[in-house]
Amino acid sequence: MRVENKIERQMRHLLKNTIILNRRFLDDEQLDRKEQFKVLKEIFDVDVRDREIRELSSHFAPILRNDHPVHLSLLGKTGTGKTVTMLYFLNMLQALCGKKNILMKHIHLDLSTPKPCFRALNDLACLLDASKRYKKGISLDELMSKIEERLKDQQGYFILFIDEIDHVRRDLDSFLKFLVKRLPQTTTLRVVIVFTSNKLNWLENIDPRVKSFLKVNEILFDPYNAVDLRKILLIRIKKALNRKMLRKGVLEKIAAISSRTHGDARKAVELLSKSAQIAESQGTAVTMDVVDVALEEIERDKYVAMIKSAPKQLQAALYAIIAMAANSKKPLQIGDCYQAYYSFCAKVKLRSLTQRAFSDLVSELDIYGFIQVRIVSQGRYGRRREITVNLPLDISEKLKRVVLMEFDIGELIS
């Protein structure tokens, strides 16, 4: 057979077995606002998040009557659609207000990465075009004044959508105090603040003096169930994938796994996407087995990505603990781990921390899920935390290698 024919046949075969037709629809980051809204509209059109949208409507209805709604707090885990629903809703509301000649504007302050109070205020000021971007060096008061100045003489409704409010580390109180006490007094705008949080009780930890000022309504976003996830995934599949290459039941399986483990739409789409990728690179259809492989791969990548982006000290602590755990079947205790960490630091020329600081690193590793920590009292033999490592062997080996690479040490240290 002539070589041209071979190539052509090969290409046609590949084309026929292509799974991902339009990668962009598997990753919201790559879609622009307009396309995102289009996808969202389709999702809402099949009655997903119906209750939440109805509640939002009734919360904001007073605006159309020239009345003042109280603030709003959207609660729910990550990936339950708090942000997208709200953005979509605000967009609609904006259009509605436009029709009725009601002055309304909204701003989305995204705190999805943790920031101190200063940074949050600065971001807000930038969004309002009230100040330039500072890194540091300017007092909080000045920033607040700039924002006030900017908003002073404006009229109408001002909806401030603050995403992930609990990510304001340190001094959340003064941030809120400014927003709910000081700001409304210095402006003629009617301010309505919408908070988002994945901690159901974030309001309970704030300064009572601020809290008393903060009248909020709450809307709870439940994790998606399998039925909703199926609808959401189906829309993505239609847009992005070659459906012929999806074996029967795969969609249901992904929906079921996702609703069972987290109910997070973004993660569900990620699993779909990963499965398609794997199947495509193997040249097979997306089968149930492929989904399992994808699940494992996502899990592993999660750990690796986390430790790679973590501070050096945390990496060292993790290495020491994993290495210790490999040599002993019993749970570890802090003191021994600290010794291991200490000598590891010496080997890689890292300044070692005190045990107090190390103890915090251990808690952090626990939060991230690398290790499990349990406080156990041994009577006169002390009160201590027992450390266990439950990572699958391949992952812990991989993590050790990653850490060593981070320290520029190729060869294994015994």
Partner DNA sequence: TGTCCACAGGAAATACGGGGGT
Partner DNA sequence: ACCCCCGTATTTCCTGTGGACA
* Residue-wise DSSP of 241-310: B-GGGBPTTHHHHHHHHHHHHT--HHHHHHHHHHHHHHHHHHTS-B-HHHHHHHHHHHHHHHHHHHHHTS
219 neighbors 75 (Cβ within 8 angstroms): yes
Task: Give the nearest distance from C-beta 79 to DNA in angstroms.
Answer: 25
User: Residue 186 or 333: which CB sits closer to DNA?
Assistant: 333
- C-beta separation of 232 from 43 below 8 A: yes
Nearer to DNA, 115 or 236 (CB): 115
Residue closer to DNA (CB basis): 19 or 322: 322
The secondary element (H helix, E strand) that includes residue 162 is strand 157-163
- Alpha-carbon distance of 88 to 188, in angstroms, equals 26
Does residue number 41 form part of the binding site for DNA (CB under 7 A)?
A: no
Looking at the Cβ atoms of 93 and 317, the one nearer to DNA is 317
Q: Site map for DNA, 241-280, x if CB under 7 A?
A: ----------------------------------------
Q: How far is the CB of 382 from DNA (least distance, A)?
A: 2
Give the pairing of strands 332-333 and 383-388.
Answer: antiparallel
Least distance from C-beta 221 to DNA, angstroms? 28
| 114-153 residues near DNA, rule: CB under 7 A | 115-119, 134-141
The amino acid at 290: V
Instruction: Give the closest residue to 384 by CA, choosing from 408, 364, 359.
Output: 359
Distance (Å, whole) CA 345 – CA 338 = 10
Tell me which of 187, 313, 315, 396 binds DNA, using CB under 7 A. 313
CA distances, 203 to each of 55, 211, 221, 271 (Å): 20, 7, 16, 33
- Minimum distance between the CB of residue 23 and DNA, rounded to whole angstroms? 34
Nearer to DNA, 171 or 218 (CB): 171
Binding positions for DNA, 293-312, rule CB under 7 A: 311
Among 57, 94, 186, 333, the residue binding DNA under the rule CB under 7 A is 333
Query: Of 87 and 334, which has the nearer Cβ to DNA?
Result: 334
Contact with DNA (CB under 7 A) among 383, 393, 410, 412: 383
With respect to DNA, which residue has the nearer C-beta, 73 or 131? 131
- The answer to whether the CB of 350 falls within 8 A of the CB of 313 is yes
Distances (CA, A) of 218 to 63, 67, 87, 172: 18, 19, 17, 19
Minimum distance, C-beta of residue 358 to DNA, in the bound complex (Å): 8
- The beta-strand segments (E) located in 313-413 are 332-333, 372-377, 383-388
> Which residues between 341 and 380 bind DNA (CB under 7 A)?
352-357, 359-360, 362-363, 375, 377-380
| Residue 117 vs 210, nearer CB to DNA | 117
User: Is residue 382 part of the contact set for DNA (CB under 7 A)?
Assistant: yes
Choices 73-81, 91-99, 213-221, 329-337 (CB under 7 A): range interacting with DNA:
329-337
Question: CB of 45 within 8 A of CB of 235?
Answer: no
Residues 48-107 touching DNA, rule: CB under 7 A, are: none
Which of 153/381 has CB closer to DNA? 381
Structure-token pair, residue 267: 């993660």
CA-nearest of 309, 321, 305 to 366 is 321
Compute the least distance from the CB of residue 4 to DNA, in Å. Answer: 59
Distance from chain centroid for Cα 374: 27
Cβ neighbours around 25 below 10 Å, total: 21
335 near DNA (CB under 7 A): yes
CB of 362 to DNA, least distance (A): 7
Its sign, for the CA torsion 354, 360, 366, 367, is negative
- Which amino acid is it at 177? K
**Contacting residue, 170, 209, 243, 308, with DNA by CB under 7 A:** 170
Minimum separation from the CB atom of position 282 to DNA (A): 41
* Nearest CB to DNA, comparing residues 253 and 385: 385
In whole angstroms, give the CA distance from residue 213 to residue 295. 46
Please, which residue, 20 or 138, has the CB nearer to DNA?
138
- Residues near DNA (CB under 7 A), total: 41
Binding site for DNA (CB under 7 A): 115-119, 134-141, 169-171, 311, 313, 333-335, 352-357, 359-360, 362-363, 375, 377-385
